[in-house]
Amino acid sequence: MIYSRLLYTENEHPHNDDGEGAFTIFLTQQLFGADCMPLDLVCIQKFAVLWEDQPDTRVIDLIEQSIVLPILSPVKLLNASEGILVVVYDSALVGENFKLFHLAWEKIAAGVMYDEWTVLLIKDTDAGHGFDGGRIFRTFARSILDNNEIGITDFTSDTAATTQLLTIT
């Protein structure tokens, strides 16, 4: 499914037998590192969105805003549930850049269409190990992060060829 012209849908994982756990792996070009600092090269960022029920286009709108701002680079996983937007971010993000990242996500989440979401930031190394987030997040987040290549990687000729083949087919 095409969600956005700024995002490539790499993989959509369906719900399990209980109707839970669906997620999408997106990729986009990235000019900033996980620490929000400019990169020397154009890279590829892969991140996941864990859906509560059906895909929520409001999450896509927030992702597009985060690309423009540019505050998507540290994000590894997103999940919106009952008025809370959980943002799992790369543990490389620290200090002043983390504070600015937090403020920016709070601002865009507060302006979500037809609602106002609170932002919960969770470090990638902590996701799924505690009581943060909703039940779906706690159940599936760790597995998504552990079993998928999520994060920022160099854009190589192999990556370009694979993306071209996937786009053509």
pLDDT top residue among 99 and 168: 99
Domain membership of residue 88 (yes or no) is yes
Provide the residue range defining the domain that includes 52.
8-168
Residue 169 has pLDDT above 50, yes or no: no
138 to 11, 16, 45: CA distances (angstroms):
21, 15, 23
Q: Residue 160: pLDDT band by 50, 70, 90 thresholds?
A: low
Domain membership of residue 1 (yes or no) is no
The SS3 call for residue 134 is coil
Report the alpha-carbon distance of residue 60 to residue 48 in Å, rounded: 11
pLDDT top residue among 61 and 158: 61
Q: Which among 150, 118, 3, 122 is positioned nearest to 63, based on CA atoms?
A: 3
In the chain, % of residues over pLDDT 90: 78
Domain membership of residue 115 (yes or no) is yes
Residue 151 has pLDDT above 50, yes or no: yes
Average pLDDT, the chain: 91
Angle separating helix axes 95-110 and 57-68, nearest 10 degrees: 140
Q: Please state whether the predicted TM-score (pTM) of the whole model is above 0.85.
A: yes
Number of domains in the chain: 1
The average pLDDT across 135-147 equals: 96
